[in-house]
Structures are given as C-alpha cells and as structure tokens.
Amino acid sequence: MKNNLQFTLLALALAAGVHTALGAPGELDPTFDGDGKVTTRVSTNDFGFDEAKAVSVQPDGRILAVGDSDGRIALVRYLSNGSLDPDFGTGGIVTTLLSQDDYFYVNGAALQPDGKIVVVGQVNIATPASVDLFAARYQTNGALDPGFGTGGIARHDLGFDDSGTAVKVQPDGRLVVAAYGYDFNLNQSLFGALRLLTNGALDTTFSGDGLAEAVFAGSDLAQPTALALQPDGNIVVAGYAFFGSSNLLALARFQANGTLDATFGSGGVVTTSLGATNASAADVAVQSDGRVVVAGSASFGFNGWLLAARYQTNGTLDTSFDGDGLVWATNAGAAAIVLQADGKMVIAGYAGNDTGLFRFNPDGSPDSGFGTGGRVQTPLSVAADSASGVALQSDGKMVIAGGLFDPINSAGYFALARYLGDGAASAGPVLAITRAVPGEVTISWTPATPGFVLQERTTLTLGVWTNAPSGAANPVTVPAT
C-alpha cells in the first residue's frame, strides 16, 4: 500500500502542474475570475455605455479601472481574484456627475503613493456653457477628496475647448497633465503640459502660469495624447501634429520649470514622418537609460498598423531598435505601453477585431516566448473590442482594461483581462495529501487558488476517482487504495 500511495501522490502533483505551474507567458490567468476575464456593468440605463480608459495595480494587489459611464466618471476596484471590492464605493463601483446636464469624458488616471486616485479628462458644462479640462481626486475608499479643487474636482479653462489627456504624479505630489485645447473659430490648437499643486490649483512656478506649450512650426493642428516623467524632472509629451494632409508623430520635452528642453530635437520638439496617411502616439514611456519609447498606430490607406518608436535622449531615432528605431505589427493598433524591469515592452491595444497584447524584446524584435510570435489576441465579445490601458503586477502578470460592446443589448461594459507573466505568476500551489479514513485521502493546496484543477492521471480504486472541477472546494477527499 505504501508504494501505491506514493505513486498516487506523484500523479496528482503532475496533474496539478499541467494546469498551473506550466502556464506560459501570455496565457490568460485562470485565477482571475476563473477564466482570466472580467466584465462589469456600471451604467444603470438600458442602453448605457461603459468603457475603461486606464488601469492600475495597487501595492496590495487590488486592481483599479477608471473610465466613464453615460457621461459620468466611473471607477471600479477589484480584488486580486477579479471580484468586486466591497470596501470601495458601493459594491466596488463609484460614479461622479456634476449635474444631469453636464458630461464627463475620462482620458487618464494615476495612483498617488498615498493611495489616492487622480482622474483627468474633459467636462462639458451646460450652464454657463464651457468645455474645460478637469482633474478629480478620490480617497482610497472611493469618496471624492474635499482637499482637492472644489469638492474633489478642479476645473481649468485654458482659453480653448480644453481636455486633459493623461496624468502623472511627481515625487513631490504635484500633478502633471497633458493638456489639449482647440478653438473652432480660430482653428488653433494647444499642445502642452499643465502642472497642478497638490490641492488642484495651477502651479505658477511652472512656465509662469502653470501651462507650458509646444509649437510645431507649419502644423495646422497638434494634439498631445500621453506623457511621461523622467527621473531628472523633465517631462515628455507625445501625440501627433497635422501637416497638410497627414499626421506625424509629435513629441515635446519640457524642463522641470516648464521651458522647452533645447537639447531635445529642434528647440525641444520632434516630429517623425512614417510615410503613413495618419500616425499618432497613444502612450509614451521613458527607459532607465533615458531613451524614450512611443507606442501608437499608423494607417497606410485602409491598413492599420501598431508601431513602436524609440528615441535617443537627444530626440533622434534609435537605430539599435530594430535597425531604424521603428517596429511594426500588422492589422493592429496600440493604446498603452508599460516597460518590464528586464527592458521588454508590453503594449496593449487591438489585434484584428479583438483585444491585442504584444511584447517586444529590448532590441525591438517580437518576443517569441510570448503568445504567438510576441502577439496575443483575445476576443472579449462578438463585436470588435480593444484595450485602453495596461499595468504590470509585482509578480509579472499583466492586466489590461478597455471596453466591451454587447450588440444584442446595445450596451457597453468595463472589460478586464489578466495574463501570466514570466515570474512567480505561473507557479502552482503546493499540494498536501494526508490519509483521512481507511480507503480515502484528503487533498488540500496552498494558496487556495480559484480555478485550480485536479485531473486524473492514474487509477484510484479502479475508476471511482472523479475529476475535481475548476474552483473545487479546498480540501477535497477522494477514494484511494
């Protein structure tokens, strides 16, 4: 009997490993709501539309998705297993609306070191009519922070129809916002960076009035879409600039005082022509060595391409990055980028009609150890869907967030997915098997991982064994000889 029992333990351990310990990078994580995917309905309207625009992972492993829902600011917080966090807002959900006649468009969010949440975008005010940049700050429980702006919301009229398109938190707590504005009557645009004090007021030590602007000579329209902070305090803003008939990649770098950095490009600005009819940066990140990586999209006629461009610290394309500073993925587009500690680049967006996740090596080559040739395509619905944000967990797992549209019910949802990474994320639980009563053994596993599967690999009592379903109770008792 002793030898038979030892053989059984080995078989069970091997069976468990097939489903947990050997998960490959880029596979959906079954410990996240059972299948790696979560959808959440925020709107209470029959045909309401929800979309997550950004995602962050808190130090305690909770996941925060931020976006909008029927003109409201919407925040949803999840526990690490994908269930809604009951300690946040109402059942894990927070929405904010000034009045029934006003409308919020959320573009970006950031976590402060103290756990507070900053959200930026555009607010359309009905009376008196105004289109302003807004920043809102929430406390860790989801309540608006009364010490920020007016009742937790700061509005800034920059003289245009204004919008905040991205936000970062400086080490000193001040906020830097990518600022966009457009005047329809004058056909003028604003491509800039706005800095706010910790209370939401304009920081007048930044460019004299809190707003720094970049001008791209010859451009009819320029729009910032992303920003990144360098360790030296410099600020990189990325987007696009329109010249006559096409958009070019556009970057500007500001010094900590708001002046353009003359050592970057031409007087602090860079444009890159890709030969595409339209090209735009969606996100930007700064490597530890100071090189700047831009993720975006370009179109050549009717064909869409994901692109990543890497620039040297002086703003020239880095030719050590795939030979010319540019990498491409066909039938795809980028929305967000995050850098791994090993220098690999994870980019989220779309692939075909599905959500797409891509990983590139530091030299720009696709990571062959991730998905299929560095590319993972995940259908979240029967309609077209895409990721808007991506974040890394401390264990190497990757979380994406975006919007899912249900064409049957004409409704939108927050949609999240979590993927396995390279590190401890793919380690399986430890099995403990003890004799219960004669003829039975008790099997338990630590941690008690949802979605864990035990699969038969040998015969226990001549076929009496029944596979434990995904998410089986822990422990489970089975017959044994």
Mean pLDDT rounded to a whole number for the chain: 87
Distance CA 321, CA 437 (A): 63
Higher pLDDT, 437 or 396: 396
Q: How far apart are CA 252 and CA 261, in angstroms?
A: 8
CA distances, 161 to each of 128, 206, 209, 330, 369 (Å): 14, 22, 18, 34, 45
Rounded to two decimals, the pTM is: 0.84
CA dist., res. 357 & res. 348, Å (int):
5
Model pLDDT for residues 346-379, shown as the tens digit of each residue = 999 999 999 999 999 999 999 999 999 999 999 9
Distances (CA, A) of 16 to 19, 368, 415: 6, 26, 29
Give the model's pLDDT for residue 244.
85
Q: Is a pLDDT exceeding 70 seen at residue 218?
A: yes
pLDDT, mean of residues 220-228: 96
In this prediction, residue 21 carries a pLDDT of: 38
- Please give the residue that has the higher pLDDT: either 466 or 437: 437
Q: Please give the pLDDT value at position 101.
A: 82
pLDDT of res. 127: 86
Average pLDDT over residues 102-119: 97
Yes or no: say if 251 and 292 are a contact pair by the CB < 8 Å rule. yes
SS3 424: helix
State the Rg of the chain over Cα: 25
Whether residue 481 has pLDDT greater than 60: no
pLDDT digits (tens, 9 = 90+) for 4-50: 333 333 334 334 333 333 489 999 999 999 999 999 999 988 778 89
Share of the chain above pLDDT 70, in %: 83
Query: What whole-number distance in Å separates Cα of residue 428 and Cα of residue 445?
Result: 9
Q: What is the pLDDT of residue 301?
A: 79
Q: Which amino acid is residue 54, in one-letter code?
A: A
Cβ pair 175, 166 in contact under 8 A = no
Burial label, 469 (beta-carbon count in 10 A; 0-12, 13-18, 19+): exposed
pLDDT tens for residues 129-158?
899 999 999 999 999 999 999 999 999 999
Task: Identify the band that residue 100 occupies on the pLDDT scale cut at 50, 70 and 90.
Answer: confident
